[in-house]
Amino acid sequence: MQKYILLVLINLTINSFAQEYQIEGTVTHNEIPQSFVNIYMMENSKGTVTDDKGYYILEGISPDNYTVNVSGLGFKTKNIKVNTTNGSIKLDVNLDVDDSYLDEIVISGTLKAVSKLKSAVPIEVYSKTFFKKNPTPSIFEALQNINGVRPQLNCNVCNTGDIHINGLEGPYTFVLIDGMPIVSGLSTVYGLTGIPKSLIERVEIVKGPASTLYGSEAVGGVINLITKSAYNAPLFSSDTFSTSWGELNVDISNKFNIGENATSLLGVNYFSYQNPIDNNKDNFTDLTLQHRVSIFNKIDFKRKNDKKLTLAGRYFYEDRWGGEMGFSNAYRGGNEVYGESIFTSRWEAFGTYELPVDENIIFQFSSNGHNQNSFYGTTSFQAKQYIGFGQLTWNKILNTKHDLLMGIAYRYSFYDDDTFATLDSDGITNNESITHLPGFFIQDEITINSMNKLLLGVRYDYNSIHGSVISPRINYKWNNANYRDIIRLSVGNGFRVANVFTEDHAALTGAREVEFNGDLKPEKSWNINLNYVKKINTSNMLMNIDTSIFYTYFNNRILPDYESDPNKIIYSNLDGHAVSKGVSTNIDIVFSNGLKALLGATLMDVSVTDSGITRQQILTEKFSGVWSISYNLLDLGVLIDYTGNVYGPMRLPLLSDTDPRPEFSPWHSIQNIQLTKKLSNSWEIYGGVKNILNFTPSDDSIARSFDPFDENVSYDDNGNILATNDNPYALSFDPSYVYTSNQGIRGFLGFRHTIF
């Protein structure tokens, strides 16, 4: 009998511990239900998001003590202790407006984690939620709605491009992944499209020179892509969408454990477009046909004392071509049917290791290899590039006043191609380019008092080809007691060594001859930036105003000359200077009724003074504006996102004084609308229309598209093009007259699935 009673008690105890309960409730603000609020349990990693009524439910909860984390955009995060020992519970939460809205933790300005409000360096932060408002197949396209940042197409045929910051071309923008210099050189043009968006946690942008911390190439600014932590990422997520043009994009990520002390995050991106369209009737594809796959893996390790160890790698392959509608690989490199065909194979590896010592010493490394097999008509471009980078930093807080950061870095670059850029002076011997770039930097963040901070830094690099380079900077920040007003002043310089064939697609496409006017010297710049942030908080609204005035002066600026000779692109250092100046403003507003808006505008003047003549820089607008407006229809449970941009006229590269095409592009705007419906805690559907105004460039963007090999172009004895009955304006085939995509209006539909 006693044994029977004991067995019953044991069974009741087991059943009690095996019992699972639930936590449910409603999240509100001023009695208004709040949708898309994150609910997360720290102890068991269970999570969900509130629906259109503000309702949530967490199921499968074992009896125990828990902390429920409730967080929503524009609201203060709440951590609430709950106990489910006695069964399921109802937990209603009222959120308060966050006075420190947009005070994220940032690292790009100082190479260490700091509060955005307290950072002496102005940094813009864009979360993964921002990029969901206008889904795109790549990070390159996703940046189109960020103020002062413009993805610039460089060719009407193969649609490669780069990223402009405040009017400065792509080679002046330093793109990082988790703080490591992954995207550079060849991939500045060809590698940006393959970064899976599903793995991006946020994007940090620093406008203006950052060469003190990052060395060469960080002249115009820094774009740092911060990937998700493997520990905090969902167990599984997928995002798939297709468009009415026939584009298909698939993003998948999966988290899994490797033993007891490591967690891996694996991501795959696949993009396909195989539907030739020629709406402008020039016999050329309006959009480049592509097959692209990118595989990314990041592993976070658990170590003693929470020391960091992260390893990551990515492989990227792309096959893209654009050209005449009848093109296929059978015509690749020939002169029967014109096409630009690019096979790109690229690998990357990078990591962070925090040394097991009492001091805060971190070693970071990255390496990448880029191989490219390309034909632009009959022009071959076979190139390979390998880069290795290592950096050791030591962060030492000396006292309450001084926060010191010191570092040593080394960068190895190997580059080779089949153009004359790597030929020796004899014009026959191939001479691969190998560059060693050791460097040292130090910065001191000086806290004068609670309202004043000063950041002083200097970097020394030794370029094995060009010698010593010193890059100083100074940053000053003032804020009032509650951080409602912040003023930042930044002064610094940058330098850059140009490689035309890895940076400028125009050097390869079309029928122009490339010519160098003398040896190209490194470019140098000085920049000053004045930034003012104002926060306004009322009972019904939270507003953040962020305004910057910028000025950059260049010496030895290298620019392509399309105008001196219609048959050539001539590269040389300016006999003068270049200036980029302007003002940029972002206004971020969150209303308590659920309406959210991010508005931005940049007014700038980017000019080039050469031989005493000042002109507006080619392919640079004087005005640009962006917006992202969101509203939640609570009754329908539908989120509406309206995004767009507008650009003022850009000066375009004409072939000659007789070129009949306009010298300046028209005002144009690309606008999109999207509806998102949450079907359950793990499924959502979204769809909408891109380019709702159906704006496309003029039909004559490609000069003489009917004669891509210039078979019917006549020349005089000096090589100048002659005007003939067939060619009255003395033009040659040229696809560099481009300022936006030829892709018109299209619908899209997608699904997202997330398992926590």
Report phi then psi at 313, rounded to 5: -150, 155
Could you tell me which residues come within 8 angstroms of residue 282 by beta carbon, excluding any fewer than 6 positions away? 699, 700, 701, 702, 705, 706
Could you tell me which residues come within 8 angstroms of residue 548 by beta carbon, excluding any fewer than 6 positions away? 122, 207, 529, 530, 531, 532, 583, 584, 585
pLDDT at 382 over 70: yes
Model pLDDT, residue 8: 45
Q: Assign residue 437 a region: left if phi > 0, alpha if psi is -120 to 50, beta otherwise?
A: beta
Share of the chain above pLDDT 90, in %: 46
In this structure, the number of other CB atoms found within 10 A of the CB of residue 277 comes to: 17
Torsion of CA 558, 564, 567, 569, to 10 degrees: 0
Lowest mean per-residue pLDDT among 39-48, 289-298, 311-320: 39-48
Torsion sign over Cα 140, 142, 145, 149: negative
Model pLDDT, residue 662: 94
pLDDT at 35 over 50: yes
CATH of domain 2-94: 2.60.40.10
Q: Which residues of 234-262 are buried (b: 16+ CB within 10 A; e: fewer)?
A: beebbbebbbebebebbbbbbbeeeeeeb
CATH of domain 252-269+277-755: 2.40.170.20
Contact in structure between 393 and 362 (CB atoms under 8 Å):
yes
pLDDT at 309 over 70: yes
Average model confidence (pLDDT) for the chain?
85
Share of the chain above pLDDT 70, in %: 85
Lowest mean per-residue pLDDT among 99-113, 194-208, 389-403, 612-626: 99-113
Take residue 426 and report the two structure tokens written for it.
């004899």
Size of the chain in residues = 756
Model pLDDT, residue 539: 63
Higher-pLDDT residue of 597, 117: 597
pLDDT tens string 514-553: 666 666 677 778 889 999 999 887 767 789 999 999 998 8
In what helix (H) or strand (E) does residue 502 lie, and over which residues does it extend? Answer: helix 500-503
- Distances from the Cα of 434 to the Cα of 296, 411, 453, 494, 556, angstroms: 28, 11, 41, 22, 22
In what helix (H) or strand (E) does residue 240 lie, and over which residues does it extend? Answer: strand 236-243
Higher-pLDDT residue of 478, 11: 478
In this structure, the number of other CB atoms found within 10 A of the CB of residue 500 comes to: 19
Look up residue 617 and give its DSSP letter: P
CA distance 201 to 203: 7
Lowest mean per-residue pLDDT among 40-44, 54-58, 691-695: 40-44
pLDDT at 563 over 80: no
CA distance 210 to 176: 12
Of 590, 684, 750, the closest CA to residue 50 belongs to 684
Instruction: Summarize the confidence of residues 685-700 as an average pLDDT.
Output: 96
User: How would you list the strands of the sheet with 513-516, edge to edge?
Assistant: 513-516, 568-573, 558-561
Model pLDDT, residue 13: 45
For the chain, what are the domain ranges?
2-94, 105-225, 252-269+277-755
Model pLDDT, residue 17: 46
Strands 613-616 and 596-610, by their bridges, are antiparallel
Coil, strand, or helix at residue 372?
strand
pLDDT tens string 140-191: 888 889 999 988 887 889 887 778 888 887 777 778 888 877 755 565 555 5
Q: Please state the three-class secondary structure of 282-319 as a single string.
A: CCECCCCEEEEEEEEEEEEECCHHHCCEEEEEEEEEEE
Question: 105-225 domain in CATH 3.40.50.10860?
Answer: no
Number of continuous H segments (helices) and E segments (strands) in the chain: 6, 44
Instruction: Summarize the confidence of residues 452-471 as an average pLDDT.
Output: 88
